[in-house]
Structure 1
Amino acid sequence: MNQFHRLLLAPAIFGVVLPALAAPDTAFANEISSLNGREAINDYMEQQEIDELKAWRSRNQVTSVNQFSEVRPTDWAYQALTNLVEKYGCVAGYPNGTYKGGQAMTRYEAAALLNACLDRVTEVTDELQRLMDEFKKELAVLKGRVDGLEAKVGTLEAQQFSTTTKLKGEVNFILGGVPDYNSDTRVGTPPVTVGRQDRTTFNYDLRLNLDTSFTGKDLLRTRLRSGNFTAFNPFNAGDSLFKLDKASSTNAGASGVGGIDTLSIDRLYYQFPVGKQFTLTAGALVRNTEILAFIPTAYRSQLIDFFAVAGTPGVYNKVTGQGFGAVWKQKVAKGQGFWNASLNFIAQDGEISNEGIFDSDGSLNTTAQFGYKGTNWGAAVAYRNGTFGTRTINANGTANKSLVGSQDSNSFSIAGYWQPVETGIMPSISVGYGFTDISGSGSPAAASSWADDSQSWYVALQWDDAFAKGNSAGIALGQNPSAGTGIDDPLSIELFYKYQVTDNISITPGLFYITNSSNQVNDKDLWGGVIQTQFRF
């Protein structure tokens, strides 16, 4: 027993021992008298001192720092004292419930406190050792399993083609048809006369994204695509108002008929941040609508292409080619609205050596957009300039032809949307208006291919969580771009309901009705429908 313990316990010992010696008839006197020799008496007294010290610690030990009446959370050593009391239980107070933290401490008192804490740490260490000994076999088995997993992970990392590439896929099965749809004679070898295409077809569209990141913030995207929609299918034909967003053709046959479906690369670009507000994109296969801060619409049927681009295909013409782009987003707190601006340049035929990426014959498209995206609404104005060879998608009649000769186009759009904060009976509302001005002229030999001015608009409503969480329903009405002799303004209507079977599978039935289409037969209005099943992984 150390000297300081003896000093601490001296008053207590004398208070107990002296009265006991004065009353030899007590139990203590009996115990003393039964001992033989000075050494035995000293051992007995030392054990009594230890018992008294333990009793003193038990009476004065606190379990919470709040038991000290004068200790406050603002005290500079409050946290340290809390740890000593609650984690190690080695701090005792005075009988009056105080700690007296401002009182000077002797070296003896410091030694006593340190010894008490070391005793507690030793107890904890011994307990851990006992547990480790008890579960020694189980820990050995667990270590062996961890070692095995590390070896397998090492093998996997050595064999995989990249540690940073993720595969994301999307497959769409589309069953549908358009009664009374008319398609004229198409160029082929030999020429193919198609006529009416009013049969029900079953097609697919496959997209595989290989997304690679080298820094965690950049993106190298390689997209593989395959589809068996022919050029004469109303859901893929260039001059059809029924053109779908998920309808591609990689058929190797003449004019897309009778060939073998292939898998081709249709996106290849690199995207990276510059600072905290800018993102730059460059690629040999990139689309202008994918280098924008956002498309100002809340309508997401993923069916007719015209409604997927806010009803303004003159600006958002989804041109794909070689190009560059930049997006600026205002830096704000997460969840807050922000201003944004986008600018991109795409050459449809920039890979052709005799036209080039910066030559006007390379079908150049320059798109700019400025807008604001809030928490539940957004709006943007946009502009696109097109040179020889560019076109406006989903148009009716000659407005769908490519620009020829010295023609160039200037397209403008304004679009926006609003969404309710909580889903319910109130739908989201999306609106848009677009205008395309064609200037210049083509050669007389190509007069039938001249493009003319056109305008378009749309209004769409969508209900999220319709009838069940995750499902959606909507209706859209709009006028496609149209121009040319004898061509009236077409009116398109779309209805859809998206049923979310699982997180990765959805089924979307859709119905369409279109008036004044250049593809109609005997002046009949056209209608059609699809059932689109989508798989995502």
Structure 2
Amino acid sequence: MKNLNVSFPITSVILSWNLLILSPVLAQVNFNSNPVGSESLSNSNVIYTPLVDQLSSQNEFPLVSSNSEPKVSQTPVQQIERLYSSSPPNLGENITNVHQLEDVTSDDWAYEALRNLVEKYRCISAFPGRNFRGNRAMTRYEFAVGLNTCLQSIRRSIESLNNKFPQQEDLVVIERLQAEFATELQNITAKIDKVSQRVNFLQEHQFSPTTVLRGIGLWDVTTAFGDKKAVSPESHSDEELKENLTLSAATILIFDTSFTGKDRLRTQVVAGNINSLGSNVTGTEMTLLVGGINTNNNVRLGSLFYQFPIGKRGIISIAPVADFPTRIFPVFNPVSAISNFGAVSPIYSFAFGSGGIIYYNLTDNLAAGITYLTTSASKVKEGLFNGQYTVLTQVSYTPSEQIGVAFTYGHYYAPEPGATINITGSKGSTFAQLPFGESTATSSDAFGLQFTYKLSSKLILGGWLSYFNAKAEGSPSVSGLNGYAGSQADIWSWAFTAFLSDLGKAGSQLNFVFGMPPKVINNDIFEREDRDTSLHFELSYSYPVNDRISITPGFFVITNPEHNAENSPIWMGLLRTTFIF
């Protein structure tokens, strides 16, 4: 800007211009090309349960507060509410007398200049609290915004017969300033017009003033190949594993409604024909793919819950339909896996259904949560407490931004585990899922240790170790083998995961999983122990085509499926295209 040699009243315009900064929000508007209110959503952790609930994961350690949520750090309802508000932004407090400024006194060197501006033009505003903040730096854009405001005030003064005209020399300088900042003023005006047009468009086309509609579309090309279908130890089968290439799809619609701006009522509907490629295809559930939504293309209610904050550090969720703890509990698994096993530790997989979840940050580094979920809540004879249920508790500790650790304990019970969620949530061998058979009432005490370590901004490691102590609550009778009530089985699982971001393109994700699916190490019914060891190797790469479309090719292989060395390895391939809308 050129130096201006002007009289004192005009110098006061320049010396006092910080008062024209109407609002820190307005002054710092990011004028970019992105549509107003647009969200950048990734497909990380899009689906890791039979019913999808999460849209994205930021691979961060969550901190629950009244304005944020773990893992699901989404606040679309609040964003839309702010965007659709018809009232103007808070532009500060109008000042009619310089004495109203809390941080300006008569001893300040610019006091007379400020008083001159207030009394002659009344075109300044203060920050909240009636503060001047005169030492604050400003940009040319901020100056242009303030100048534009003052010009409007002067114009109103000229048009009013009740107000005295500005001095002629002031108008000369104002014209010079207006000429010098003509480009900035024009740009500001054009951008404000564009923002106004976008806001008007969104107001006219909004789905609802309180509800946000989002969705996911999945297109899967899958295949499974190997020598023969897998069988459990002591079983024999010569059934070939046919190599088939399949094309399937699923759609998830998510309706998020907020009544206070801090709560969320989520209604989720799903439809699709994706085959998970489990035991009906390969002979083992170890090959299950994540996101296998198969409703025969009929629209069904996938999930329904209502959650709200507890103070500033907690959150509670109540769900009559299909909730799960990992929607709120941090799982400390950085990868976006394509397999059911690699998506999350088995410690979480048997907790699903109707019930409630509570999670609370005791400190900035320490948090704890508890959940009670059941799949029999709607059954008249069983209800919430007399059928299958899981109680899961977790303590999470994040001593730094690089490290996160969680210890999890769960208690499980099912009168018929084969007819509902089994002990390991369909992970691992058949013996691990049903150590005493499908119809034997079974309970389990499970323990899990999960961790994440951030080596760099792009490379994150993770892993887990889980142990289940299963107990037969009735007398098991499996395949002619008689057991006794109180029989116990020990089931173990572990995994190591790695996540590498921005490989080839910003937003891309390279995911690696290596581990052992749940295995029965010891069983009082000796015939249902796993004799050998299966290993899971997985590699996938998510490539973002743009903010709304990503492509994920990947594969994994299971050695000794069903922990049976007589079974040949089974390979699984997936090419998934994810659409976010």
Select the structure with the greater relative contact order (CA < 8 A; seq sep ≥ 6).
Answer: 2
Question: Against the structure 1 CA distance between its residues 234 and 438, is the aligned structure 2 distance closer, same or farther, given a 3 Å change threshold?
Answer: closer
CA distance in 1, matches of 2:353, 2:411: 15
CA distance in 1, matches of 2:201, 2:578: 35
1:287-329 Cα distance to aligned partner (Å, 9 max, x none): 22345331111122x30111111xx31x111543110110102
Return the TM-score normalized by structure 2: 0.61
Question: Against the structure 1 CA distance between its residues 152 and 381, is the aligned structure 2 distance closer, same or farther, given a 3 Å change threshold?
Answer: closer
Secondary structure at the aligned position of 1:241 is classed as helix
2:232 maps to 1:220:
no
Residue number in structure 2 paired with 1:63: 11
Secondary structure at the aligned position of 2:348 is classed as coil
CA distance in 1, matches of 2:275, 2:480: 24
Aligned partners of 1:235 and 1:244 also within 8 Å: no
1:213-259 Cα distance to aligned partner (Å, 9 max, x none): 111110111111122134765699894212122112213xxxxxxxx
2:291 maps to 1:263:
no
Residue number in structure 1 paired with 2:215: 169
Match of 2:166 among 115, 120, 133: 120
Shift of 1:485: 3.7
Residue segments in structure 1 that go unaligned for 5+ positions in a row: 1-57, 91-116, 132-145, 186-192, 252-260, 333-337
Secondary structure at the aligned position of 2:11 is classed as coil
Alignment of 1:12-411 (within 5 A): 63-64=11-12, 75-76=106-107, 80-85=111-116, 118-120=164-166, 162-180=208-226, 196-230=241-275, 239-251=284-296, 261-300=297-336, 302-309=337-344, 312-313=345-346, 315-317=347-349, 319-330=351-362, 332=364, 338-359=365-386, 362-373=387-398, 374-388=400-414, 389=417, 390-391=421-422, 392=424, 393-401=426-434, 404-411=439-446
1:93-113 Cα distance to aligned partner (Å, 9 max, x none): xxxxxxxxxxxxxxxxxxxxx
Shift of 1:262: 0.8
Residue number in structure 1 paired with 2:503: 466
Aligned partners of 1:180 and 1:521 also within 8 Å: no
Secondary structure at the aligned position of 1:200 is classed as strand
Aligned partners of 2:403 and 2:454 also within 8 Å: yes
Bigger radius of gyration, 1 or 2?
1
Shift of 1:397: 2.3
Secondary structure at the aligned position of 2:464 is classed as strand
Shift of 1:148: 12
CA distance in 1, matches of 2:534, 2:226: 16
Shift of 1:346: 0.3
2:579 maps to 1:535:
yes
Secondary structure at the aligned position of 1:488 is classed as coil
Aligned partners of 1:182 and 1:520 also within 8 Å: no
2:443 maps to 1:417:
no
With 366-375 and 216-225 compared, the bigger mean Cα shift is at 366-375
CA distance in 1, matches of 2:504, 2:410: 40
Residue segments in structure 2 that go unaligned for 5+ positions in a row: 1-5, 16-102, 122-162, 179-194, 232-237, 521-527
Question: Against the structure 1 CA distance between its residues 443 and 468, is the aligned structure 2 distance closer, same or farther, given a 3 Å change threshold?
Answer: same
CA distance in 1, matches of 2:244, 2:338: 19
Work out the number of aligned pairs and report it.
402
Secondary structure at the aligned position of 1:453 is classed as strand
Q: Please give the root-mean-square deviation of Cα atoms over the aligned residues, in Å.
A: 4.0
Give the residue type in structure 2 aligned to 1:215. Answer: T
1:175-210 Cα distance to aligned partner (Å, 9 max, x none): 12111275599xxxxxxx996343121122321111
CA distance in 1, matches of 2:328, 2:197: 47
CA distance in 1, matches of 2:9, 2:118: 13
With 366-375 and 233-242 compared, the bigger mean Cα shift is at 233-242
Secondary structure at the aligned position of 1:443 is classed as coil
Return the TM-score normalized by structure 1: 0.65
CA distance in 1, matches of 2:168, 2:10: 20
Shift of 1:494: 0.3
CA distance in 2, matches of 1:413, 1:228: 33
